[in-house]
Amino acid sequence: MLELLSLPPILKGLIVLAIAGLTFPITGVYLFRLNLLPLRFMLMHGAILGGAVALAFQINPFWTTIAINLLLVLFMAKTSRSMKADAGQISTFFMVISISLAFIFIYKFNVPAKDTLTLLWGNLFTLSWPEVIGIGFFALVLTGFQYFFRQQLRALFFDREIAFTSGIDESRLYYSVIFLTAITVALAMKLIGALLLDAILLLPPIIASFQAKSLKQMILGSALWGGAFATGGFLLSIAIDIPASSSIAALASLAFIIIYLTQKK
What is the pattern of x (binds other proteins, CB under 8 A) and - over residues 18-57?
---------------x------------------------
> Which residues, in sequence order, are CB contacts of 82 under 8 Å at separation 6+?
none
Contact 15, 129 (CB under 8 A): no
Rounded Cα distance, 249 and 59, in Å: 29
Footprint (CB under 8 A) of other proteins, residues 100-129: none
Query: Binding to other proteins by residue 175, rule CB under 8 A?
Result: no
For other proteins, which is the closer residue by CB, 63 or 157? 157
> Which residues, in sequence order, are CB contacts of 30 under 8 Å at separation 6+?
36, 153, 177, 180, 181
- Position 78, amino acid: K
Footprint (CB under 8 A) of other proteins, residues 183-222: 209, 212-215, 217-218
Q: How far is the CB of 77 from other proteins (least distance, A)?
A: 18
Footprint (CB under 8 A) of other proteins, residues 138-167: 151-152, 154-155, 157-159, 161-167
Rounded Cα distance, 23 and 104, in Å: 34
Q: How far is the CB of 177 from other proteins (least distance, A)?
A: 15
For other proteins, which is the closer residue by CB, 128 or 166? 166
Spatial CA neighbour of 249 closest among 212, 208, 194: 194
DSSP label of 110: T
Q: How far is the CB of 153 from other proteins (least distance, A)?
A: 11
- Position 54, amino acid: A
Interacting residues toward other proteins by CB under 8 A? 33, 151-152, 154-155, 157-159, 161-169, 209, 212-215, 217-218
